[in-house]
Amino acid sequence: MSAVSRAAVEDFLFHEADLLDSWRLEEWAALFTEDARYLVPATDRPDDSPASSLYLIYDDHGRLVERARRLLKRAAHAEFPHSRTRHTVTNVRLLENGGDTARVSCNFVVYRSKREVMDIYPGRSEYELLVSDAAGFRIRLKKSVLDLEALRPHGKLSIIL
């Protein structure tokens, strides 16, 4: 596998952001591999392992698919009617590149508006992307670390970062 370009990785991350902002969440979940994980650590322990410390999100593939499905339901009350979100992705860097896996980091800011209140979620994500000529990129790991000391005043993280 030849090395991937940063432009190609950025295109992929912008596509992911667009799926989330347009609430095409099942398509978002389909970006992930069967052994994928989506992680958000607690705001006070960003470097710990989810198997031994309490996280905010510790999804395996099954749960991230269900997270996406759940959020599309009318009874996912925190997101009904859907909030308006805008994911911006910047500072994309290729940390490891060349094999069938690319490790990528980026900065993000997610704006969420609901009931005329705007909450802002800034942070940094790390991705492990599976690279193939045929299928392009698939996500094996997405770990999003919030630059917040507490989810306040937000009160919840009911959207996908």
Q: Which of 16, 41, 131, 137 binds another protein (CB under 8 A)?
A: 41
In the complex, the smallest distance separating the C-beta of residue 48 from another protein, rounded to whole angstroms, is 6
Residues 94-133 that bind another protein (CB under 8 A): 115, 117
Q: Which of 55, 88, 89, 103 binds another protein (CB under 8 A)?
A: 55
Q: Which of 2, 7, 77, 133 binds another protein (CB under 8 A)?
A: 77
Taking CA atoms, 70 is separated from 8, 26, 73, 75, 159, in Å, by 30, 10, 5, 8, 11
How far apart are the two ends of the chain, measured CA to CA in Å?
A: 29
Cα 38 to Cα 26: distance, rounded to the nearest angstrom: 15
* 53 or 101: CB nearest another protein: 53
* 36 or 129: CB nearest another protein: 36
